[in-house]
Structure 1
Amino acid sequence: MKFDSMYYPYSSRETAVYARNGMVATSQPLAAQAGLRILQKGGNAVDAAIATAAALTVLEPTSNGIGGDAFALVWTEGGLHGLNASGPAPRSISCEALERAGYKEIPKYGFLPLTVPGAPAGWAQLSRRFGKLPFAEVLEPAISYAENGYPLTPVLGTYWAKGFKEYKKHLRGEEFQGWFDTFAPQGRAPEIGEIWRSSDHARTLQEIAETNAESFYRGELAEKIDQFSRKYGGYLRLEDLGSYKPEWVEPISVNYRGYDVWEIPPNGHGLVALMALNILKGFDFGERDTLDTYHKQIEAMKLAFADGKKYIADPCSMSVSVADLLSDAYAEERRRLIGKEAIQPEPGRPPKGGTVYLCTADGEGNMVSFIQSNYMGFGSGLVVPGTGIALHNRGHSFTLEQGHDNCLSGGKRPYHTIIPGFMTKDGKPIGPFGVMGAFMQPQGHVQVVMNTVDFHLNPQAALDAPRWRWIEGKSIELEHSTPPHLAEMLARIGHDVNWALGSGDFGRGQIIWRQDNGVLVGGTEHRTDGQVAAW
C-alpha cells in the first residue's frame, strides 16, 4: 500500500510507526508493551493479541473486562479466520418473563441484561489453535499489572471519573456494592496518575491461566457467578456457562476499489460497514474534505444502519441473508436513494458504548484484529464478589418487540456492536484495523477505509482525520476539527448539524498495514492514550 506524501494535515503525530519484526497497537501504552514483550519472548501475533487483551481488562476496565465478549480476525497460514466469542442470553430468560415483570425495555444495569461472557473462552480458543507460547505464560503481564498496580493515564482517568459519577447516580442495591469496592475503593474514582490495583482480578486471571479458562465456565469461577446470579434473582446459571463455546466463523467481505474489506458476520454489525462501502463504491471521490464526500458518506451510512437495525441478529433468527444484503443489485437499489439533500431513514437511535480494540503483527506474517467489550463503559455495574469479574450488559441490545429479528430469547445472541476489521488485496494481507465505540464502529470503519483507499492517507493520518457521526434521522455530529464551511454547507442541504464538545464519541482506533517489502506501518490515534509498540 502506498501513501501520497510525507505531509498529512490531520495528523497530531509526526508520522506513522514503521517496524519489521513485530508490532502491537492499542489504546493503552502498558497493554501494547505487554503484547510486545510476548513477541520478543518468541510468541507470535496471536499470543501478543491474547496478552494485550487480557492486560486491557486490567489497564482499561472503563471499556472492557473479564466478563465481556470478544471477536477476532486472524491472518495466518495464508488465510483469514474469524472467531465469534460472544455469548447468548440465559436459557431461562424470555420477553414474556420481562413483560410480566413490568419491563417495556431491557434495562442497562443489573442482572437482566447479562449474557454469557465469551472473552475468556475466546482467549483460550485462540491460544489452543494458533498460539505458540503456553497460555499461562501469555497471561502473566495482565496478572502482574492486576497484582502490583499501575498509574492511570489521562483518557482512562477521565472515563473512570465519568463512569463513577454515572454509577453513583444510577446503581442502587447491595448487588452493586462489589463494583464500588473494586473500582472506587476509596469512595471515589482513582485520579490520573494514581495507582490502582486489584488482587481479586489477579487471582481470577491466574485461575483462568492455569485452567485454560475452564474454571470460568465449568469450575470454581463459574460456580461463583452462578451463586451471585441466584442470590439476586438473575437468570444466568451454571448450565449456561458450562454449555458455552466460541464459534469459528467464515468472515464476510466486499471488494472496495480492488481491496477486500473483511468483517465478522452477524450477530455483529460489521455488515453495516460493508453495506455502506458497497453503496459508496458506485461513486467517485476526488477529495476528502468536500460537501459531496461528506454528504454521500453520511447518506450511505444512514441506509446501511436502517437495514442493520432491522435485520442483524443471531444468524438463526435473521429473516434476510447476508448475501442478499451485500449483493451489488441491492447496493445499487439503495444507492439510487441518495440525492442532493439529506434523507430521513427509520432506524433506532444509536446509543453510546465502551470497547477496546487492538491489532498485532509478527515477523512471520501473522496478523490479528481483536476487539472486546463490556458495553457502555464498565458494563452491568455488577462485579462477582471476590473475583474482580465485571459482568457486561450486552443483553441491553435485545429488543422486547415480538417478531423482531433481534427479539430477546433464551439461548440467543444479541445484535452486537463490537467489530474487528481486516483488509486484503489480491489474496494477500494488507492488515488489521478497528475503531472502538459501539454504533460509531461501522462509521469509523467506513471513514478509515476511505481515508486509506480513496485519499491515500497513512495509518496515523487516516485515524487522526476529523470524523462525522450519524445520530438518527437527519441529525449528525461533527468533530471540532472539521472545517467550518463543510458544516454550513451540510446544513444547507438538510442535515441537522451539531458540533461535538469533545472527541470521545468518535471512536478510538488502531491500524497496522504490511507493505509489499514486509515492513509494518502502524498508527494509533490522538483520541486515546494509545501506543504503537514495535521492534
Structure 2
Amino acid sequence: MSPHPRQPVFAPNGAVATSQPLAAAAGLAVLRRGGSAVDAALATAITLTVVQPGSNDIGGDLFAIVWDGHRLHGLNGSGRSPAGLTREVVLAATGGRGAEPTAAHGGDQAVGPAMPARGWLPVTVPGAPAGWRDLHERFGRLPFADLFADAVGYAEHGFPVSPRVAASWDRSVRVHAELVGEEYAEWGRVFTVDGGRAPRAGERWRNPDAAGTLRRIAATGAVDFYTGQLAGTLVEHAARTGGVLGGDDLAGHRSTWVDPVRAGYRGHEVWELPPNGQGVAALLALNILDGVELAALDPAERLHWQIEAVKLGFADAHAYVADPERVTVPTAELLTPEYAAARRALVTDTAGTPAPGDPARGGTVYLCAADADGMMVSLIQSNYLGFGSYVVPTGLGFGLQNRGAGFSLDPAHPNVVAPGKRPFHTIIPGFLTRGGEPVGPFGVMGGHMQPQGHVQVVSATVDDALDPQAALDRPRWYWHAGRALLVEPGLAAGGDGVERLRARGHEITVEADPSAFGYGQAIWRLPGGGYVAGSEPRADGCAVGH
C-alpha cells in the first residue's frame, strides 16, 4: 500500500480500531474509565454516526459479535420493512418497472427490475439505536448515557472533517443534486454548507439537530426513538413526504440475539452471523479453500483459487440468503464439508461464472474493541450506499438507511420484498478463534467487498502469519460480477501474477481508488496477554490502545 506502511499497535490492557480517529479516541476514553469492550465499541459506534455520517448514521442498522470471555454471542440489529411496503406498491410507484439494476443490488443477481436505491421505498426500520441499548443492557458497565458524550459534543460544537470522509461526502453531494422530491430537501439543509457543497477536509462541521436526537436516545434508552417524540416526528415526516413507514413499524422493532455460524480453516474457526447477512458467502469460500493447499501454489494460482471460491460463495448467498424468520434458509446445509467438496470440484483452471448449487441435495463503518478482562467486540453499522436513502426527518439531523434496496422484486426469490421482512444485508462482522480459543474480531466494510475482504484478511493471517496491520496493508482484489476483476496497483506490481490471471480468463482492471477495496480493522489477542491491533491504511482511522 505505502512505502512506509503503518505499524501494528501493541497494547497491554485494551484496544479500539476504526475508520475515524475521533471515534477511536472516544472508545479508548471509555476503556480508560473502566468501561467494558462493549461500552467502548458503543461509544465508538455512536461517535461514528457524527464524524463519518455518509457511511453510517443514527438511522442505520448494526450487527455485532461479542466474545464475553467464554463464548460468542451474536446480535442482529437489522430493521424490517414497513407493513405498507409490498411488491405491488414498489411496482406501482416505479411505473411497473422497478429500478434499473446497479452495483448496489449485489453481484450477478442484478438482473431484471430492482428495488429503488433512494427515497422512501428502500427505507427499513432503523435498528442501530435499539442495538446500542440491547448490547449495553447485556454487556455494559458504564451508564448508557455516558457513551454518548463525545458524539453529542462533536455534533453540538463541531469537529474538523477528516480527508477520506470529505472526499466521499463530496461524491454524495453530487448524487443528492440529481434527486428531485420534497423528501430530499432536509438532507441538503443538514448535510451541505454554503448553499450546497460538502465540507472540506479540515473544515469544522456541526450538526446540532443530531446532538438533540442523541440526547433523547441516551436519556430514554432508545425508547423515544421507537415510541416517543422522535418516532412521532419520523412518522409525521413520512406521512407528509410520501413514506410508508408508520408508528407500528417503529414500535414493533426488536433486535435478535443469534448464535454465530462458523467454517473451519486450517485449525482455526471463522465466525460470521447467520442470514439475513451475507457472512455465509465468506464461510462458503473458506470451506472450499480449506481443502486446497494454497501454500504449495504459485501466487497467481493461489489468487485464482481465492477468486473462484468467492464467486461460488456469492452465487449461493445471492440465491438463498433472506430473512430466516420468513423463509427457510439452508445455512447448515450450505456449510457442510460435503457441500464444500462438491463446490470445490467446480473450480477449473479458467475464470468461471458459477450458478448457485443445491445444498438440499447433500457504503458502512466497522470497528472492533477489546478490554483487559478478555471481552472482544466485532461491530458493524451502516446506512448503505453513502448517506442511504437521502431522506432526513425534519429537525432530527440524521439520515435513514436504504437497506430495502437489498430486496428482490422477483416473486419467486426468497428475498422478495414483503411487509415486515428483513432484506439481504451486506454488513457482516467477523471473529476468529483457534481450537475454540479467541484470536480476535475483524471486519472489512464495503458492500459486496465484505466477504471477499474477510477471505483475504483470514488467509493473510492464517496462511501467511501476518499481524493485523500487515494483513490489512496487503494489496487487495475485488470481484463484482462475471469475469471482471479489480486489483490494486500493489498487486499488479507483484511480478507477472496479473498477466497469468488474465491468461486464465480473468478480465483485470488496475484500480487506483482505494475506496473500491473496503476498509478493515482487526485486533488479535497476544499469547502472553494484551493485544495487537491494525487499522485500514485506505481510510482515515487508526488503532489505539492502553
The normalised TM-score by structure 2 is 0.93
Distance in 2 (alpha carbons) for counterparts of 1:317 and 1:241: 19
Render the CA deviation track for 1:149-170: whole Å, top value 9, x for unaligned: 10011111111111111211x2
Render the CA deviation track for 1:94-124: whole Å, top value 9, x for unaligned: 1022223324232111100000000000000
Supply the AA of the counterpart residue of 2:412: G
Q: Are the equivalent residues in 1 in contact too, given 2:73–2:260 (CA < 8 A)?
A: yes
Whether 2:171 is the aligned partner of 1:179: answer no
In the alignment, what sits opposite 1:193?
A: 202
Structural mapping, 1:515-526, within 5 Å = 515-526=526-537
Supply the AA of the counterpart residue of 2:43: A
Distance change in 2, residues 1:10/1:430 (3 Å) = farther
Deviation at 1:233, TM superposition (A): 2.0
Distance in 1 (alpha carbons) for counterparts of 2:376 and 2:498: 38
Distance change in 2, residues 1:288/1:59 (3 Å) = farther
Match of 2:11 among 6, 16, 19: 19
Whether 2:378 is the aligned partner of 1:369: answer yes
Q: Are the equivalent residues in 1 in contact too, given 2:472–2:521 (CA < 8 A)?
A: yes
In the alignment, what sits opposite 2:111?
A: none
In the alignment, what sits opposite 1:167?
A: 176
Deviation at 1:486, TM superposition (A): 1.4
Render the CA deviation track for 1:246-297: whole Å, top value 9, x for unaligned: 0000100011111110001000000100000000000011278711111000
Distance in 2 (alpha carbons) for counterparts of 1:19 and 1:98: 51
Render the CA deviation track for 1:435-488: whole Å, top value 9, x for unaligned: 000110000000000000001111111001010111211111111111342111
Distance change in 2, residues 1:381/1:14 (3 Å) = closer
Distance in 1 (alpha carbons) for counterparts of 2:60 and 2:399: 8
Q: Are the equivalent residues in 2 in contact too, given 1:74–1:366 (CA < 8 A)?
A: yes
Deviation at 1:185, TM superposition (A): 3.1
Distance in 1 (alpha carbons) for counterparts of 2:438 and 2:293: 25
| SS at 1:334 equivalent | helix
Match of 1:131 among 135, 140, 144: 140
Q: Give the count of matched residue pairs.
A: 520
In the alignment, what sits opposite 2:539?
A: 528
Aligned CA RMSD, in angstroms, stands at 1.4
Whether 2:149 is the aligned partner of 1:157: answer no
Match of 2:74 among 55, 69, 82: 82
Distance in 2 (alpha carbons) for counterparts of 1:449 and 1:272: 14
Supply the AA of the counterpart residue of 2:118: Y
Distance in 2 (alpha carbons) for counterparts of 1:385 and 1:289: 57
| SS at 1:518 equivalent | coil
Unaligned runs of 5+ in 2: 99-113, 357-362
Match of 1:344 among 344, 348, 353: 353
Moved beyond 6 Å, runs of 4+: none
Distance in 1 (alpha carbons) for counterparts of 2:296 and 2:146: 48
Deviation at 1:515, TM superposition (A): 1.3
Unaligned runs of 5+ in 1: 1-8, 348-353
Higher mean C-alpha displacement, 321-330 vs 91-100? 91-100
Distance in 2 (alpha carbons) for counterparts of 1:183 and 1:505: 24
Distance in 2 (alpha carbons) for counterparts of 1:140 and 1:254: 39
In the alignment, what sits opposite 2:21?
A: 29
| SS at 2:544 equivalent | strand
| SS at 2:124 equivalent | coil
Deviation at 1:499, TM superposition (A): 1.3
Distance in 2 (alpha carbons) for counterparts of 1:289 and 1:239: 57
Q: Are the equivalent residues in 1 in contact too, given 2:9–2:533 (CA < 8 A)?
A: yes
Structural mapping, 1:134-533, within 5 Å = 134-168=143-177, 170-187=178-195, 188-286=197-295, 290-346=299-355, 354-484=363-493, 485-533=496-544
Distance change in 2, residues 1:521/1:410 (3 Å) = same
Identity %: 50
Deviation at 1:174, TM superposition (A): 2.2
Supply the AA of the counterpart residue of 2:193: P
In the alignment, what sits opposite 2:107?
A: none
Supply the AA of the counterpart residue of 1:517: G
| SS at 2:420 equivalent | coil
Higher mean C-alpha displacement, 443-452 vs 517-526? 517-526
Distance in 2 (alpha carbons) for counterparts of 1:307 and 1:402: 18
| SS at 1:481 equivalent | helix
Deviation at 1:428, TM superposition (A): 1.4
The normalised TM-score by structure 1 is 0.95
Q: Are the equivalent residues in 2 in contact too, given 1:125–1:246 (CA < 8 A)?
A: yes
Q: Are the equivalent residues in 1 in contact too, given 2:323–2:421 (CA < 8 A)?
A: yes
| SS at 1:359 equivalent | strand
In the alignment, what sits opposite 1:50?
A: 42
Supply the AA of the counterpart residue of 1:526: P
Distance change in 2, residues 1:12/1:400 (3 Å) = farther
Q: Are the equivalent residues in 2 in contact too, given 1:314–1:414 (CA < 8 A)?
A: yes
Distance in 1 (alpha carbons) for counterparts of 2:313 and 2:258: 22
Q: Are the equivalent residues in 2 in contact too, given 1:26–1:32 (CA < 8 A)?
A: yes
